[in-house]
Amino acid sequence: MKAVRYHDYGGPEVLRYEDAPIPEPGPHEVLVRVHAAGVNPADRQIRAGLRFRLEKPFAFIPGCEVSGVVEQTGSEVTGFAIGDDVYGMLGKFGGGYAEYVVEAGDKLGRKPTSLDHVHAAALPVAALTAWNALFEVGGLVAGQTVLIHAAAGGVGHLAVQLAKWRGAQVIGTASARNEAFLRDLGVDTFINYRTTAFESVARDVDVVLDAIPREADDATDVIARETMARSWAVLRDGGIQVSICAQPVPDPESARRGLRGSYAGAQPRNEILNRIAELVDEGKLRPDVGTILPLREARRAHELIQTGHTRGKIVLQVVGCGDVRGY
């Protein structure tokens, strides 16, 4: 099969489009013919050696979310059959930038029927992260208010929609070019972070969701750290700040007010993926794909993702590059 791999850690230039062996599914796994793979900040962090480091020599295939078709099932798999459309987050943090991938059957969900594979591949990591951050860690319920930083990003734009579905009031920060986009998704109060201090607008917030990407030694990282520090002031007593990138630690005054901070990531969960697919097919949730590139251009995708200023998701198309159906 064709795959994108790297044999050493470094910048986007280490990514190679090359031949690789087709993986064999174990008894509880399925072999998926990948149609599209989502690109995430974690992919570039792993590529740079910031998440974990493998012993050399290695040939690592990045990519932690895919959408595709079941090609083969292991002997113990009962939930899927050959030909089923599936999507999901890969528990191994890699393998997605390829024509085939194996994953445990209980980690995959049924692809939303209303989406093509490109748009379905934009969902798993971001939607699972937003779900966990808002509901399981943040405890957001109907009638509460949430402030979402980087609301137009891959996680942020899905968090906006999930919060509105739950019945919350949503305040979103982003640049001016994303105002119409976010208002269309349901943001109640939009804040242009370049011109307006969010703490001059937001008050008595129950949950702050910090989805600003971190890039070490970068201006974006400075902004992200300052934003996290300033966000304690907008929370009501007993509120919580949840970050998908770092562990928020309340200062002494915030701690005295009962404010809490927590990191939230994504876990591959079949039941949540299936619920997310239902919300998509019910018209309650729609992923935004900002950039579509063929698999061989994964290097360009990594150059874009590390800017920290993309809207929606970047997706690598593996099958049918000339046949992308919009949402």
- List pLDDT tens digits, range 10-67: 999 999 999 999 999 999 999 999 999 999 988 998 999 988 889 999 999 999 999 9
Residue 216 has pLDDT above 50, yes or no: no
**What are 174-212's pLDDT values in tens digits?**
999 999 999 999 999 999 999 999 999 999 999 999 998
323: which 2 tokens? 């046949």
Per the model's pLDDT, the better-predicted residue between 220 and 84 turns out to be 84
**Regarding the domain delimited by 127-263, which CATH topology (the fold level of the hierarchy) does it fall under?**
Rossmann fold (3.40.50)
Q: Which amino acid is at 151?
A: A
How far is the C-alpha of 65 from the C-alpha of 48, rounded, in Å? 19
Residue 309 has pLDDT above 80, yes or no: no
Give CATH 3.90.180.10 domain extents, the chain: 2-123+287-317
Does the domain spanning 2-123+287-317 belong to CATH 3.90.180.10? yes
pLDDT at 322: 44
Per the model's pLDDT, the better-predicted residue between 268 and 7 turns out to be 7
User: Mean pLDDT, to the nearest integer, of 124-149?
Assistant: 97
Contact 99, 20 (CB under 8 A): no
Contact 266, 125 (CB under 8 A): yes
Per the model's pLDDT, the better-predicted residue between 213 and 62 turns out to be 62
Indicate the pLDDT class of residue 326, thresholds 50, 70 and 90: very low
DSSP state of 178: G
Whether the link from the prior residue into 25 is cis, omega within 30° of 0, is no
pLDDT at 52: 83
User: H-type helices in 232-281, by residue range?
Assistant: 252-256, 270-281
Contact 146, 32 (CB under 8 A): no
User: Mean pLDDT, to the nearest integer, of 139-168?
Assistant: 97
Contact 68, 43 (CB under 8 A): no
pLDDT at 203: 96
Contact 35, 69 (CB under 8 A): yes
For 261, list phi and psi in degrees, rounded to 5.
-135, 145
pLDDT at 323: 42
Helix axes 124-131, 156-166, angle to 10 degrees: 50
Give CATH 3.40.50.720 domain extents, the chain: 127-263
**What are 220-279's pLDDT values in tens digits?**
678 888 999 999 999 999 999 999 989 999 999 999 999 999 999 998 889 999 999 999
pLDDT at 268: 84
Indicate the pLDDT class of residue 305, thresholds 50, 70 and 90: confident
Beta strands in the chain (DSSP E): 2-5, 16-19, 29-39, 65-73, 85-89, 100-104, 108-110, 145-149, 169-174, 189-192, 205-210, 235-243, 260-263, 289-294, 313-317
How far is the C-alpha of 166 from the C-alpha of 141, rounded, in Å? 6
Q: Which of 68-77, 80-89, 213-222 has the lowest mean pLDDT?
A: 213-222
User: Mean pLDDT, to the nearest integer, of 137-145?
Assistant: 98
How far is the C-alpha of 318 from the C-alpha of 326, rounded, in Å? 16
pLDDT at 142: 98
pLDDT at 257: 97
How far is the C-alpha of 269 from the C-alpha of 250, rounded, in Å? 30
pLDDT at 327: 31
Q: Which amino acid is at 192?
A: N
